[in-house]
Structure 1
Amino acid sequence: MPNISAETLEHLKKIKQTLIDKKCENIQFLDLKDVHSYLSLFVIATVKTETQGRSCAKDIDKYMKPLKLAVKRQNLTDLPKDATGWILLDYGEICVHIMTDEMRTYYSLDRLWGDATPIVV
């Protein structure tokens, strides 16, 4: 198990439960600290539709905001209706990638960061 604080592990567990509750598939947790100096923890999940992805993003942000871990991107209420199929939530140490199957296959982050350490959450 990578060196992850108990607090961060709790955040990852909550994110995982949210993704499961929202019926996301192929949820992966990766520790990239040893692979790249400016990257930390990636969560990658597949959704069937962009609407499902927006719903996941909003629920994750509801949990993270009160912890003063607000997303470092546009206001989630302003997500475009014609999104690209990939929503990135950057919380500093934790980056959550919510992708449609098409985008996940195309960008293949799992393969791109294949040297990363998988995290069991």
Structure 2
Amino acid sequence: MTATERAVELARAAAEAADDRKATQIVAFDVSEQLYITDIFVLCTGANPPQMSAIRDAVEEKLLSLGAKPVRREGEREGRWVLLDYADIVVHIQHSEEREFYGLERLWSDCPTVDLGLG
């Protein structure tokens, strides 16, 4: 099983919105064969809490324009790791230190990456 077309559409839109706010290290993994709760994890890095908030707002705005609303948000107050769960996709916006420490890329390295269509 692979990620649905809707999940790929949302992942690309989230990545584009994050890229517009200068997020770095944007990558997506098709986790549909490993998890039943979501199809794609989108990971990106923000340099500081204000940038991470701007990335979060841009992702939410872009996905809302596509009819998607988050079913869960976590980590907004700390500003070091924000998780936006859209059921089809989960967007992780992490500060560089958290990204390195938790190493989600290593954890999901068995999964195929999703072409996000970014330059």
Match of 2:4 in 1: 4
Report which of the two structures shows the higher radius of gyration computed on alpha carbons: 1
Unaligned residue ranges in structure 1 (runs of 5+) = none
Cα shift at 1:48: 0.4
User: Residue by residue, what CA displacement relative to the aligned partner does 1:7-28 show, whole Å, maximum 9, x if unpaired?
Assistant: 4333222212111111111111
Unaligned residue ranges in structure 2 (runs of 5+) = none
User: Residue by residue, what CA displacement relative to the aligned partner does 1:40-80 show, whole Å, maximum 9, x if unpaired?
Assistant: 200000110111111111111112224442112359xxx42
Match of 1:111 in 2: 106
How many residue pairs match? The answer is 115
TM-score by length of 1: 0.83
Match of 1:51 in 2: 50
Q: Is 1:95 matched up with 2:90? A: yes
Provide the identity percentage. Answer: 25
CA–CA distance in structure 2, aligned partners of residues 10 and 36 of structure 1:
19
TM-score by length of 2: 0.84
Match of 1:17 in 2: 16
Correspondence list, 1:52-91, <5 A: 52-74=51-73, 79-80=76-77, 83-91=78-86
Q: Which deviates the most, 50-59 or 86-95?
A: 50-59
Q: CA RMSD in A?
A: 2.1
**Residue type at the aligned position of 1:63:** K
